[in-house]
Chains A and B, each alone.
Chain A
Amino acid sequence: MTLNQLLVVFRDIATRHKQVHSFKIAQDFNIDAEEALTFPCLVVNPITSELPKTENGYTMYSIKFDVQLLDLMNKDRDNEDDVISDNLTILREIVNEFNTHPYYMDSGIDLIGTISFRTIRGAYDSDVTGWRCEMEMQSPNRLSFCGSPISNLTGYDFSAASVTVNDGADTYELYPSDTYTCSSGVTPAGIAYQRPLPTGQNISYEVYDDAWQLANNPYSAPPTNPLYTQELDLDTDDTGKTLLYDSEFGNKFRFTDVNGIEEDSTSEIYIIDNLTGLGWYKNATSLGVKSFNNALGIGGTLEIRNNALLLGFSDWKLANSNEARSIFTANYNSGSDSGILISAIIRSQYITSTTFANNSTTNCFRVSYGPILSSIGKSTAIYNLYCRNHF
């Protein structure tokens, strides 16, 4: 715990104690400065801190606080004894709270040493009296360097044997392997996908077009602490069909069906790209030729197919220019090679949902082998590429 957190602990107790009406962090000469105090008032001032060395290292640290409980007496001081008695009781109750409440024990906060109280009579103001003491609070000093905002050393390989250290609260293992890796303390989970870049289109020209999908059907956010960001293993396979890390299915096939089986010319018509997290409708031929204007919009063929639950899904989209390009390869030859990495998508050009900004009213982008992006009329019918956000 930091000093601030310990001060918050004091403030919290002052707030919760029904006989304490105010709290102040101040040195003596500042206690009644700036504002009038409401009594009884708990005043705390940190004065010293120690990191005692033990055989296990600097496992704990302590901060000593000067603590005062001040209250106002009657003008004729006829209740001075009562006030002093009550204030001592309150301070003892605070000590008991720290010392016995499970929360503080679970948090590793501990009051240490003997606490000696002494009265303050007529201090600060002749009508104010109370008690003061010193409370030394101890909490664990986390041993690992991992939590420090210090860049890791470079050029040094941790090859020391494992060292197990117990700080009284927890056990730590330092240098547990040949190379020590700092852990964030959060268990990694999930895969971050390489999403196709946004096309930059921020104006929607038709319902379900590129910009509409950006606002209404965005990619899911990546995991907070992913296992890895998925990449291609181009050293092993320069065609772009092999992943560097395991997919959700535990293999390295980039294109698979929903069971993780590698895509081939005979596989199912729904194919997952485990690099981008997109799912693709493989049989583009069966979708027919549709123009941008006919495919998109209310009542367009995309909406009709979503309403009909094409392959059981209602969130298909016409691929935008970057999504479409993500499944093309530049290693296109000719003939029956479509330039598309998913087999059996054999058509050589497709309209996309991205409008051609230079002629936004009439033209959209098409993608063709190469991959080449070019402009085509929004009323010109060619083949469509459907995809959806699978992951």
Chain B
Amino acid sequence: MKTINGTIQLRDLTISNPSYEVKNVNDNLVNKTCSIEVVFDTPSIIKYSYSVGGFSYDATWEDADIFNFVETHIKSELLIV
């Protein structure tokens, strides 16, 4: 579980200092594309899924690169404060 400092807007929900986990990584080895399912904790009884899809990668990527990519993506796409 990782945490991002700040506030994100995810669909109808605003979450401060969200915690999330990278749940599924779907790899297309032929096209070297990837989609990642990220699941955020919310203040309610449910969690929110967010999909980071369709980006390309190269053969040198390790797990840490994926985590860094996800964090950068969340900050650039969802962070509002």
By a beta-carbon cutoff of 8 Å, the part of chain A in contact with chain B is 202-207, 211-212, 214-216, 297-298, 355, 360-361
Contacts and interface: CB of A to CB of B under 8 A. Distances in A.
Nearest to A206: B11
Contacts of B26: 361
Contacts of A203: 39, 46-49
Instruction: Name B's interface SS.
Output: strand
A212 B43 CA distance: 12
A204 B45 contact: no
A264 B12 CA distance: 39
Nearest to A211: B46
A348 B18 CA distance: 42
Given A202-B46, A212-B46, 19 more contacts: A202-B45, A203-B48, A204-B46, A204-B48, A205-B49, A207-B11, A211-B47, A214-B46, A215-B42, A215-B44, A215-B45, A215-B46, A298-B11, A360-B24, A360-B49, A361-B24, A361-B26, A361-B35, A361-B53
Contacts, number: 39
30 contacts: A202-B47, A203-B39, A203-B46, A203-B47, A203-B48, A203-B49, A204-B46, A204-B47, A204-B48, A205-B49, A206-B11, A207-B11, A207-B12, A211-B46, A211-B47, A212-B46, A214-B45, A214-B46, A215-B44, A215-B46, A216-B44, A298-B11, A298-B12, A360-B24, A360-B37, A361-B24, A361-B26, A361-B35, A361-B37, A361-B51
Nearest to B50: A205
Interface residues of B, number: 16
Interface of B: 11-12, 24, 26, 35, 37, 39, 42, 44-49, 51, 53
B65 to A, nearest CB: 21
A134 B46 CA distance: 61
Nearest to A297: B11
Nearest to A213: B46
Contacts of B12: 207, 298
A206 B24 CA distance: 17
B45 to A, nearest CB: 6
The 5 closest A-B pairs by CB, nearest first: A215-B44, A211-B46, A215-B46, A205-B49, A203-B47
Contacts of A360: 24, 37, 49
A204 B39 CA distance: 9
